[in-house]
Structure formats: C-alpha cells, structure tokens
Chains A and B, each alone.
Chain A
Amino acid sequence: MNSTLHQYRLENVRKLFGRQQAALDGIDLEINQGEKIALIGPSGAGKTTLFRLLNCTLRPTSGKLYIDGEDVDLLHGKRLRHVRRRIGSVYQQHNLVPRLRVIHNVLAGQLGRWPTLRSLLSLCQPNDVELAHNALSQVEIADKIFERTDELSGGQQQRVAIARVLVQDPEVVLADEPVSSVDPTLASTIVRLLIDISHNTHKTLLVSLHSVDLALAYFPRVIGIKQGRAVFDLSPDKISDDMLEDLYSGNFRDHAVTETTSGNIETIAYPSLS
C-alpha cells in the first residue's frame, strides 16, 4: 500500500530454478532511498540471485518485488529497460567486454539513454570522450582510456566497471562481490570508492561481501543471508559473534554441496550460456 515510500520492497519473494531448487526461499525486505547496505552469507546462499532480481535480470517465481512502487511483474520492453537504466551493477568478474577498448566499456553505461544508431556510431567514433574521461578520472585510471580492456589488471578492470556505473548515473548501485578477486588493501579502497560515489549523489548502495570485517566496518545496515532466506537484518553493533557463527555454520560440510548445486542451478537454467 505504501510501497511507494521504498526504493525496494520485497514480499515473500522466491526464485526457483528447474522447478525444485529454491535459490531464494521467501525474502521480505524493504530498502529506502539512499541506504547503504551490506549483504553477507555463505556462497550458494542466494546473494547473486537476489542481485539479479534487484537489477531486473531475473524475475521472481512467486512473491512481489516493487521498485519505486512499480510491480516488476508488469514491466516489459521499453519500461523494463527504463527501470534497469536506473539501477547500476558492479560484478565480481567485472563483466566487461574484453576485446573492446576501455572507453567503449565505460560509455556502455549510456546505452540505456542513447538511441540505437547513436550507440553503434559511437563504436566507430567514441561519442562522448569527455564523459568517459571524467568517469575514469574519478576512479583514477584516466590514462587507460584508449587501451584494450583485456590488457588491464584485475583491479583496474574493476575500476573500469565502476566508471561504467558512474556514466550510467543510476539511482541504485548494486555490487555483487565486487572485491573478492582483489587483495585486501585494494578491497577496502574499492568499497570506500563505492560508498563515496553513492554518498555524494545520494544513491542507494547494496554490496555483497565475502569479508565480514569490511561489511561491519563500512555499512550501517548488514543483512545475513543463508539458504535463500534473510536470517538477520541489523546495524553492525547489534550483530553478535554467535549470529555470524550461525550464519556460516554447518558450512564446511554443506559448503561443497551448495557450491556444486549452485553450479547445477546455473547449468540447468542457462546451459548454453555458461
């Protein structure tokens, strides 16, 4: 009823792959505009699926998901793309196009605004060098602008991915394990960078993290996810060691199991894509 007040509102959201495996098993969540939230939990818990629901890549199997009061079940075609445009994503593996030059990967953040023809012409003659340059300056790799993306290091590529989000200039920034493939110092730098860019422009920020320390240190709200359910949703000072232990408990044995089943989920749902 007052779902319009929230950036996101999830009511008993479930996502099934292949009819029996529940990747998400009844999530209720409300997220306000401008909040900074960390998501933690064992791998295979459903964090990535949750992100894919939140950025409208996947759609809930059942339950309701509202974005700015809009029911995503009713979004198709142009309206779906408009909502996606307002949500920027950063991924664990950067998800850049390796063979393109950095500038094209950065300007890809504009695709939701550019007409198709203009975006194609930009591949021949970059359309807005200044915009790309500004974004890359903010992440401090402006000198790489014309290099081929696959020639950059992992950390640099993650910065390019963040520059792409800067160009996209969304209302929400979702980052799915953005630092799990970089070293600890760089990890906190990138987390701080994400917080800074979303703070300055009052964006909502959701980051899932492998590192509990980073989550507790930088985020005022931390959500623990396990087996497709939210087990806690608190400010860091209220999260006890017991809760954390519970969150990751039974995981050493389960770990391998969930890891492989989550792999299966992918292959069942999208065999030819993976």
Chain B
Amino acid sequence: MFLDSWKRAGIAPELFFSTRGRESLWKFLTGMIPPDLSWSFLSLMLRPALETIQISLWGTVIAVLIGFPLGLLGTNTLAVRGILNDAELQGAPVRRSLRYGVYLMARGALSLFRSIPEFVWAFMFVRAVGLGPFPGVLAIGVAYGGMLGKVYSEIFEAVNYRPLEALQSTGANKLQIFFYGWFPQALPNFVSYTLYRWECAVRASAILGLVGAGGLGQQIEISMRMFNFNEVLTILIILFLMVAGVDYLSAKVRALL
C-alpha cells in the first residue's frame, strides 16, 4: 500500500537534484535572504498582521459556537448509549430512534463542515459576502467548527462516567449532568484543544488570504507575484512569531487550570 501510494503520489526526490529544480529552489531561497526589515515595509505589514490575528480569533470563536453544541449532540454516550440512557431508552423505541436521528444529523453536519477544505469555504463566502476578512472568518468558523465538534464529542465520551452516574441518580437532567460532571472533567482537554485550533487558524488565515480573504495571506500573494521573496520571508517570520505567541498564551492559560 505504501509503495503504491509512493508511486501514485508522484514522490520523486531525485527532482531536487536535477539542475532545473536545484536552480529555481536556489533562486527562491537566496532571493529570500536577507528578509526585508525596512521600517516602511514592516509598518505596511502591521495592519494585515493584526487582521490575521483578528480573523483567526473570530473564526475560532465561531468555530466553538458551531462545534460545541453539535459536538454535544454528537456525543454518543450523552445521546443514546451507555449507563446514562439505559433506564430512559429501554423499551422506548420511538425515543431511541428520535435521539439516534438527532445524533446522526449532528455527526453528519460536522463531517460535512470539516470535509470541505477551508479555502473552498472561503472561496464560496467570498462570492457570497465579497472580498475582505469577513469571508475568512466564516470559512475558518465553519471548517474548524467541524473539526472542533468532532474532537469535543470524543473528549466528552472519554470522561469518567462514574461521577455522571452519581449526578444522574440525584434526579439531575442531562444539561445539569453535563455542566456539573461532564464539562468540569473535560475542561483541560477542551481548552487546550481549542487553543491549539486557534494556533492552526492563525496559519490557515494566511492561506485564506490567497483567495482574497484578507490578512497576511493576501500580502504573501502580492509579494510572490512580484518576485519580492525577501518580503515573503519577512511575512513568514511574522507568522512564526504570531504562532509562537499564541502557543505561549495557551501554555499560560493551561497552567491556570
């Protein structure tokens, strides 16, 4: 299988050593050095950099707003299976199939959202709402909502069910059980995964710029098209610093929990 994939993916390391490949790679790399650190260029990048952060931040917020409820509905052990549903669903086929239907719909929506790549979403949203950062926010929100929702449901399914069983036996309803038992146990994983996705969103929002969704990506595209590779390097450095900054922030937040 691996060999077959190797062939079909067209993996050919020897291309790196061919004269043509070597020359153009060399031109690209040397062209990048030194990075353009002139004040005029840096100050020009300030706004797009800020815009990238803003896109990724709001994209992630929307992703959580989509992923959290859908992930909840798509949590197997909350909806249909296991000890929290035995008494409620045994001998109640209508209830069971209703719950199962909702569960499947939530899983289906999440799969759909994340199977379409974020730049395709961006492309569609650019058509719908025009150029600028907003389609980028929407694209990240929907695509990442699908990913977050799936992982949330897995985090929720992995918590220790015994405290939940005890909460249920006090007569608590599902929502109360969720917020008293489920969420507190899942919180550290929930937060760290969400922050990780924010980090990814910073990078993704750069790619989205290529289809006209604002931010640093748009600048990369402009610089590339004008063969200003040293500007590209500057932008990549800015991106790196931003990702590292988000990582630092998330480490701080996780330490608080």
Using a CB–CB cutoff of 8 Å, the interface residues on chain A facing chain B are 52, 55-59, 72-73, 75-77, 80-89, 91, 93, 95-100, 104, 108-114, 116, 119-120, 123, 161, 164, 168, 269-270, 272-274
Contact = CB atoms under 8 A, between A and B. Distances in A.
B57 to A, nearest CB: 24
B87 A123 contact: no
A260 B4 CA distance: 44
Interface in B173-192: 173, 175-177, 179-181, 184-185, 187
Given A95-B162, A97-B185, A113-B171, 9 more contacts: A85-B171, A91-B166, A96-B166, A108-B172, A114-B176, A116-B175, A119-B176, A168-B171, A272-B76
Contacts of B177: 111
Interface in B156-213: 157-158, 161-163, 165-173, 175-177, 179-181, 184-185, 187
B172 A272 contact: no
B83 A57 contact: yes
Contacts of B181: 97
Interface stretch (B89-97, B110-118, B129-137, B228-236): B89-97
A59 B158 CA distance: 24
Contact of A76 (B83, B92, B166, B169): B92
B23 interface: no
Interface residues of B, number: 35
Interface string B122-158: 0000000000000000000000000000000000011
B1 to A, nearest CB: 29
Nearest to A83: B171
B152 to A, nearest CB: 15
A108 B184 contact: no
Interface of B: 76-77, 81-83, 86-88, 90-92, 95, 157-158, 161-163, 165-173, 175-177, 179-181, 184-185, 187
A81 B171 contact: yes
Contacts of B180: 97, 100, 104, 108, 111, 119, 123
A161 B163 CA distance: 10
Contacts of B86: 57-59
Contacts of A96: 163, 166
A168 B170 contact: yes
Contacts, number: 122
Contacts of A120: 176, 179
B13 to A, nearest CB: 43
A166 to B, nearest CB: 12
A59 B240 CA distance: 56
Nearest to A85: B171
A56 B169 contact: yes
A111 B162 contact: no
B166 A274 contact: no
A95 B84 CA distance: 14
Contacts of A82: 171
B191 to A, nearest CB: 12
A128 to B, nearest CB: 15
A186 B125 CA distance: 65
A54 to B, nearest CB: 10
Contact of B170 (A75, A97, A100, A112): A112
Q: Among A82, A84, A91, A95, which residue has the most Cβ atoms of chain B within 10 A?
A: A95
A13 B186 CA distance: 36
A80 B92 CA distance: 13
Contacts of B77: 270, 272-273
Given A97-B185, A99-B187, A89 B91 contact: no
A52 B180 CA distance: 21
Contacts of A113: 171
B179 A57 contact: no
